[in-house]
Amino acid sequence: MYCIDVLLEEHDHITDFIKVARNACCSIIDGQPIYNDDFNKMLNFGKVYADSLHHKKEEDILFNAMIQEVGGPAEKMIRNGMLVEHDIGRLYLSELDKAMNEYLLSPSTQLKLKIITNLSAYCDLLERHIVKENQVAYPFGQKTLSTQTLQRLDDETKHFENNSQNASHREYYLNVLNELQEKYC
């Protein structure tokens, strides 16, 4: 199914991002300076690729259909689990953003800790979240949604993927990820 294949492929890229971000956090603990450009790229990868492209597709397309059509346990899992975790991820990113801005103005060990804490917590959250979606949420959707709805979700995903702004963001951030992997993996 195209819709789920696209989401699964994005999970693979986000998993690569998690490795990069963890290695970058470890490099700070080992005494490297915080390279602001790299951390900004990681922050924006989270905001744009993981959130605006990936989580948005889940929320507006797949999860929305599961809530509307399946309801019951699917709705509970999505509203109380997946959507709450998306929001916690957004909170970590906004705290990371704040800490990075403050660090630029006035570097301190406390702010370094805040940067590492939020980026690392974001990685842990995404890692667990991806396992739940791959093993439970996506298969549940695929099993319970009608063939007609699954076809509609494929069409909506194609439309989203073909949107020129989404396509250029995807290409840009996958290049950013490659660059970061060369440096940190």
Binding site for Fe ion (CB under 5 A): 58, 133
Tokens of 34: 């915080």
Interacting residues of 2 by C-beta distance below 8 A, sequence separation 6+: 154, 157, 158
| CA distance linking residue 125 with residue 166, whole number of Å | 24
Of 23 and 134, which has the nearer Cβ to Fe ion? Answer: 134
Q: Provide the minimum distance between the beta carbon of 88 and Fe ion in the complex, in angstroms, as a whole number.
A: 11
Nearest approach, Cβ of residue 124 and Fe ion (Å): 15
Q: Which is nearer to Fe ion, 60 or 179 (CB)?
A: 60
Least separation in angstroms between residue 82's CB and Fe ion is 5
CA–CA dist 122, 119 (Å, integer):
5
- Residue number with CB closer to Fe ion (75 or 102): 75
**Which of residues 58 and 97 has its CB atom nearest to Fe ion in the complex?**
58
Give the shortest CB-37-to-Fe ion separation in angstroms. 27
Q: How far apart are CA 110 and CA 108, in angstroms?
A: 5
Closest CA to 20 of 48, 42, 36: 42
